Amino acid sequence: MELTKEEEQKLIQEAMQIRKNAYAPYSNYQVGAALMTEDGKIFTGVNVENSSYPISMCAERSAIFTAVGAGEKRFKAIAIATINGGPPCGGCRQVMSEFSPDMIVITVDETGKICMRGPVHEILPGAFGPKNLE
């Protein structure tokens, strides 16, 4: 999937901005995500931790679930902002693959430096997906 430099920069800026709203009192690892649909709409998400750790939510899934709730299911790219440009967890990669295995994933650190950039199918090779259930 093609992503213009302008679209990439917009996603990065949105992810960095929304990251400030993350609720991470336990890990202190704030994450912001900005997701672009194939038609250019942007949905954002943040990580939300809970004292009962397993029910916490990642920023990437938060953005995707919000987009799906708005009727969107095809995504072009997602930018993920953290303090150090950390990659998405396996669960988030699986959710990304469910909808758009060719979606571009970009991670940036707190300065906006790109740390990782590539399609979901490269960061989750051999993913289990809808086709496996046919």
- What span, in angstroms and rounded, lies between the C-alpha atoms of 5 and 27? 32
Residues belonging to the active site? 60
- Which sequence spans correspond to the domains of the chain? 5-128
pLDDT at res. 12: 98
Question: Is 47 labeled as ligand-binding?
Answer: yes
- Collect all residues with Cβ–Cβ distance below 8 Å to 121 and sequence separation of at least 6: 97, 101, 102, 127
Any known ligand binding at 58? Answer: yes
pLDDT of residue 6: 97
Say whether pLDDT at 39 is over 90: yes
DSSP string, 30-87: --EEEEEETTS-EEEEE-B--SSGGG-B-HHHHHHHHHHHTT---EEEEEEE-SB-PP
pTM listed for this prediction: 0.95
pLDDT mean over 5-24: 98
Residue 18, SS3 per DSSP: helix
| pLDDT over threshold 90, residue 1 | no
Residue 52 annotated as part of some ligand binding site? yes
Assign domain 5-128 to its CATH superfamily: Cytidine Deaminase, domain 2 (3.40.140.10)
Q: Is 92 annotated as a binding residue?
A: yes
The predicted structure's pLDDT at residue 21: 98
pLDDT recorded at residue 4: 96
Q: Is 89 annotated as a binding residue?
A: yes
Burial 84-102, CB ≥16 within 10 A → b, else e: ebeebeeebbbbbbbbbee
